[in-house]
Amino acid sequence: MSEFDVLIIGGGPAGLTAGIYAGRAKLKVGMIERLMPGGQVAGTEFIENYPGFADGIAGPDLMMAMESQARKFGLEIMSGTIEDVDLNAGPKRIVVSGKTVTAKTVIISTGTDPKLMNVPGEKEFKGRGVSYCATCDGPFFKDKDVVVIGGGSSGVQESLYLTRFVRHIHLIEFMDHLNAERILQERARNHPKFTFYLNHQVLSINGEQKVASVTAKNRATGDSIEIPADGVFIWVGMQPNTDFLKGQVELNQWGFVTAGEDCKTSVPGVFAVGDVREKEIRQITTAVADGTVAAENALKIIESQES
C-alpha cells in the first residue's frame, strides 16, 4: 500500500501544477493517470495564448516540460485505472488497477472528454472516418473533403490545423453564429478552404464501409442537405470524467465537480482543479491557477494535522 500526503488524480496542466507546488513543499505527492500526463493539451498541435511563449508552443512540448518539472520535485506518477474510491475515509483510499493507495488529501484533475452527438452513423464510423482529434487523424485526410461539426473555439482552432492537410472543410454549427474567439473566427472566415453552414443541425453521418457524407438540416427553413465528405471531425462540447466520483463528492447537473475558487469540494481534504471543476472559463491558465490554489490549501491541511 502506497501512502501519500497529496494524491492527484489526473495529469493535465492543473494536476501537474499541483504536483510542482506540493513537491516543492516537500510533501510526498503521487499522481494517478490512466494514459500519460498532459491531458487534452498534449493532443493540441499549437498553443499561442499561454504566457511566456511569444511565438507559441506545441502542446506536447509544454506538457513534457511541466511533467519534467513536476518529477524534478518528487512527483511519483502511476499509470492505471481507478476501480474504487472512498474519499470520506481517513486516510482517503483509492484502488487503482488492483493496488490500494491512501492519501491525506486528494486533488481531482480528471478533465473532460469530447461529447458524443449520438446521431446515426457516429458510433458506426468511429475510426472509419469519424474523429475527435485533428492532431491524431488530420494527416489521414490529405487532399480530402471533411466536415467539422462545432463552431466553438476548439472546433475552429482544430479546423485551422486541418487546413494544412485537407482539400476543403465544411463547418456545421447548430447556432446561427460561431462561438469561437474572434481571432479564430477571422482566420477561418478569411481562409479559402472553409464553407460555413450556420444554424444547421446534423441528422446523420452516412456511408457503407466508411464515411461518405453528412446530412444536415437548415433550422430556419427545415430544408435538408447532404454534404459529401471523406471524414467528420466532431467538437460539440466536453463532458467531465467524474463517473467514479458519483456518491463521493457533490456534482452539478452536468457532472462537473462543485467547487469554488478555493477548489474545495463538498468533502474536506478533497479538491477539484482544471476543466473538471464547475467554472465559467476553462483555459490552461485557469487550470494551472487551480492547481496552485489546491496544492497550497492541501498543504495547510497537512500542516494543521502535523501541528
Active-site positions? 133, 136-137
Task: Please tell me the number of Cα atoms within 13 Å of 101 on its side-chain side.
Answer: 30
Phi and psi dihedrals of 31, rounded to 5?
-140, 135
Helix 284-306 × helix 13-24 angle, to 10°:
40
Report the C-alpha gap between 87 and 180 in whole angstroms: 37
Cα angle 214, 217, 220 (rounded to 5 degrees) comes to: 155
| Cβ-based neighbours of 232, under 8 Å, separated by 6 or more | 125, 129, 130, 131, 146, 147, 148, 149, 205, 211, 214
Amino acid at the residue 203: L
CA distance 6 to 9: 10
